[in-house]
């Protein structure tokens, strides 16, 4: 039996989210059977972009019976766990963030253990890294203080929990650490999305500090390609992979690139770093490249693609 049959069908938790719908589209186009698992029933991005077949199960990731029922109903063989409460909501409503991000991950791990699934790919974040001027390497120690709020702490805790689970119960748990994901339909409140939305709406961006602060931005099409390479790989040599471009850009550089597409954009950004936010180097993506991954978009091309989606 080939690996595809061992992994297929695939359940995507958070399947109606921004990333989940792009993941589903990408995997459907590669011939996989996909089940979207989400408390929301809105998957219009997928319907607009894909003619492929997919199934939907309305369920709460923090409710173990929902997960068990979905897995058994559709004969699920593997899971991509993308459900999450993201910033700023993870800090503004911390209980809800803990319930979905921590308890939900625990229940996904329990479901995999109880029903003997082969592989779970956990969608994590570069938020687990602390401050460093060097490349972010997957095997570095996770710091206790990351500077990325509760979300970073929750993702780090979930990684550790999943790796220990897989050691004890002998299933594959693999981590995909993503940069700041952007693209058509994205709503995350990170700097790139805020800058682009304000520029589109002719609203200024004014920051006293932060022009020199660097971030790893990754287009959603590249993010899902990276996750797909990880989840569908035959033999994995590693358990943690960075998903990005391998290049950082400062907020000043980001603003300049946006103005190339929207010359009337009004950015007033002071120098220095963003206060109370860790500064890290770019991702080392050599592990992911070994799986055949090649990012399609550099930031300039990705921004143009994103901005054009508003027109």
Q: Name the DSSP letter for residue 283.
A: B
Bridge partners for 11 per DSSP: 35, 79
pLDDT digits (tens, 9 = 90+) for 101-146: 999 999 999 999 999 999 999 999 998 987 776 788 888 877 766 5
Which pLDDT value is given to residue 226? 98
- Structural contact between residues 62 and 99, judged by C-beta atoms closer than 8 angstroms: yes
- Written as six digits, the tokens of 120 are 């779970």
Nearest of 164, 75, 166 to residue 119 by alpha carbon: 166
Q: What is the mean pLDDT of residues 10-38?
A: 94
Work out the angle between the directed axes of helices 191-200 and 299-308 (0-180°, nearest 10). 40
Neighbour count for residue 119 (Cβ, 10 Å): 23
Whether residue 6 is predicted with pLDDT greater than 90 in this model: the reply is no
Residues listed for the chain: 311
Give 147's DSSP letter.
S
Domains of the chain: residue spans and CATH: 3-183+218-247+279-296 (3.40.50.720)
pLDDT number for residue 99: 95
- Does residue 258 or residue 42 have the better pLDDT? 258
Q: Average pLDDT, stretch 181-196?
A: 93
pLDDT at residue 215 in the model: 92
Cβ contacts of residue 203 below 8 Å, gap of 6+?
266
Confidence class for position 147, pLDDT limits 50, 70, 90 = low
- pLDDT given for residue 3 in this prediction: 58
Instruction: Determine the pLDDT at residue 2.
Output: 45
Q: How far is Cα 265 from Cα 217, in angstroms, rounded to an integer?
A: 20
Question: For residue 244, which phi and psi values (nearest 5 degrees)?
Answer: -170, -150
Cα torsion through 183, 185, 188, 194, rounded to 10: 70
Q: Is the peptide bond before 130 cis (omega within 30 degrees of 0)?
A: no
Which pLDDT score, from 0 to 100, does residue 47 have? 66
The answer to whether residue 304 scores a pLDDT higher than 60 is yes
Other C-beta atoms within 10 Å of 127: how many? 26
Share of the chain above pLDDT 90, in %: 76
Query: In angstroms, rounded to a whole number, what is the distance separating the alpha carbons of residues 311 and 300?
Result: 17
| Helix 191-200 with 251-261: angle, nearest 10 deg | 30
Distance CA 292, CA 230 (A): 10
* pLDDT per residue as tens digits for the range 196-249: 999 999 999 999 999 999 999 999 999 999 999 999 998 899 999 999 999 999
Return the CA Rg of the chain: 19
Listed in sequence order, the residues at least 6 apart from 47 whose beta carbon sits closer than 8 Å to its beta carbon are none
Closest by CA position to 249, among listed 177, 180, 147: 180
Of all residues in the chain, the percent with pLDDT exceeding 70 is 94
Q: What is the rounded distance in angstroms from the CA atom of residue 248 to the CA atom of residue 165?
A: 33
> What would the two tokens of residue 95 be?
């209980």
Say how many CA atoms lie within 13 Å of 287 toward its Cβ. 24
Q: What is the pLDDT of residue 133?
A: 66
């Amino acid at each position: 039996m080939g690996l595809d049959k061992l992994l297929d069908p695939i359940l995507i938790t958070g399947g109606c989210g921004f990333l989940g719908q792009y993941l589903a589209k990408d995997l459907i186009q590669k011939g996989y059977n996909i089940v979207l698992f989400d408390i929301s029933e809105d998957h219009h991005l997928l319907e607009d972009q894909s003619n492929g077949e997919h199934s939907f199960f309305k369920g709460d990731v923090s409710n173990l019976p929902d997960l068990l029922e979905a897995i058994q109903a559709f004969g699920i063989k593997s899971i991509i766990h993308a459900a999450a409460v993201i910033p700023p909501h993870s800090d503004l409503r911390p209980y809800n963030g803990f319930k979905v991000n921590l308890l939900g991950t625990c229940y996904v791990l329990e479901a995999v253990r109880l029903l003997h699934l082969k592989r779970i790919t956990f969608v994590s974040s570069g938020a687990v890294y602390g401050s460093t001027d060097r490349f972010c390497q997957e095997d570095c120690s996770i710091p206790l203080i990351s500077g990325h709020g509760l979300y970073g702490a929750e993702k780090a805790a979930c990684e550790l929990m999943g790796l220990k689970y897989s050691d004890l119960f002998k299933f594959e748990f693999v981590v995909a650490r993503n940069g700041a994901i952007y693209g058509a339909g994205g709503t995350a409140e990170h700097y790139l999305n805020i800058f682009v939305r304000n520029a589109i709406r002719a609203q200024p961006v004014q920051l006293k500090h932060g022009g020199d602060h660097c971030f790893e931005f990754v287009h959603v099409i590249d993010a899902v390609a990276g996750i797909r390479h990880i989840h569908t790989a035959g033999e994995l040599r590693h358990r943690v992979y960075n998903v990005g471009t391998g290049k950082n850009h400062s907020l000043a550089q980001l603003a300049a690139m946006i103005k190339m597409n929207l010359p009337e954009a009004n950015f007033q950004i002071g120098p220095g770093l963003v206060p109370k936010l860790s500064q890290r180097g770019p991702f080392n993506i050599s592990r992911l490249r070994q799986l055949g991954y090649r990012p399609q978009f550099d930031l300039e091309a990705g921004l143009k693609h994103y901005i054009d989606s508003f027109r």
